[in-house]
Structure 1
Amino acid sequence: MPEDESRNRLRVGGWVPPYSSSSEPGYEGGRPALPRVPQQRALGPGATPPARPARHFLLLAVVAALGCAVTAIVALNDSDEETPAPVAAQSQAPWPDMPAFPILPEETISLRPPPSRTTVTSPAVAPVATRSSASKAAASPSKAPKPSPSRSTVPPVALTVGSTVGLEPAFRTGYRVRHRDYVARIDPISSGSSEGDRADSRFVIRSGRSASDCFSLESVNFPGYYLRHRDYGIRLDQAGRSKLFDEDSTFCTASISSGTALALRSYNYPSRYVALDGDRLILSESAATAFRPVPPA
Structure 2
Amino acid sequence: MGAGVVLALVTGVTLVLFRLGVESNIPGFNPLLKFFADASGDWLKLFVISAGTATVALSAAGGLLSRYVPWLRAPLDAALDVDNHFREFPRRAIPRARIFSRFVAVLNCIAAQSYDHIIIVAHSQGTVISTELLRYMKERTTHGQAEQAMDPVASLWERLGGRIALVTAGCPLRQLYAARFPVLYEWVLGQHGPNLGPVADDVGVLRWVNLYATGDYVGRWLWSRAPHGEYPVTQIDQAGAHGDTYTPHRVDTTHWKTLMGANTEKDISIGAGAHTHYFSIDQKTMAGVIDALLAS
TM range (shorter): under 0.3
**Greater fraction of residues in helix:** 2
Which structure has more relative contact order (CA 8 Å, sep 6+)? It is 2
Larger Rg: 1
